[in-house]
Structure 1
Amino acid sequence: MSETPNTPIADGGNLRPTGKRQRAGEATTARATSAQKAPEVVETRRNPFSAIVDFLRGVVSEMGKVIWPTGREMVNYTIIVLLFLVFTTALVGGVDWVSNFALQKIFH
């Protein structure tokens, strides 16, 4: 077990650790940061067609990782989307009709 300093809980209960702290006289596990500047990365111009081919290869590779929905899931998702579309259309149409009706009563 690590030897972390403990502090009493405010209600007088058991001691609990206060967390990791740097202790005097102990070495840190972190390395000292180098004062030297990192070498600059020189960008070379690539053939644009080569970049396009690399991009398309990456797309094909990533598409292979996709977990595609089954036919039944697609039907379920499509039905859910269409029902939501009908509900939203009815809601907007209802608000439009009510506001139109109210404005007609007010101004006529």
Structure 2
Amino acid sequence: MADEVVDEPGEELVATAKKKRAEKKTWFGRIILFFQQVVAELKKVVTPTRKELFNFTAVVLIFVIIMMAIVWVLDQLFGWVVVVIFGNPTF
């Protein structure tokens, strides 16, 4: 990933936004300011490398498989408990 992670907006971006907000008080000006800020934030997005993408995907898939196994085991356990408590249903 990137060496430098910026979570907060830069001081110059905030200052520019405040200045533009003071200048543009019409609804149209506020819409333009909003889109300018959206573009500025999108420029900060860092796309993962191919290796990072495969690692992230593998972690998610492994996590999902583990959670599915846990849910299946609990489902089997609770089903067995229900059969023990209430007996075998006859239809």
TM range (shorter): 0.5 to 0.7
- Gapped runs of 5+ residues in structure 1? 1-42
Specify which of 31, 39, 54 is matched with residue 33 of structure 2: 54
Q: 1:86 to 1:49 in 2, by over 3 A?
A: farther
- Return the structure number with greater helix share: 2
- Return the structure number with greater strand share: 1
1:82 corresponds to which letter in structure 2?
L
Aligned residues: 65
Q: CA RMSD in A?
A: 2.1
Cα deviations by residue, 1:34-60 (Å, 9 ceiling, x for unpaired): xxxxxxxxx9x9433432221121111
Q: TM-score, normalised by structure 1?
A: 0.51
- Give % identity: 32
Q: TM-score, normalised by structure 2?
A: 0.60
Taking CA–CA contacts closer than 8 Å with sequence separation of 6 or more, which of the two structures ends up with the larger relative contact order?
2
Measured after TM superposition, the shift of residue 93 of structure 1 is: 1.7
- Gapped runs of 5+ residues in structure 2? 1-21
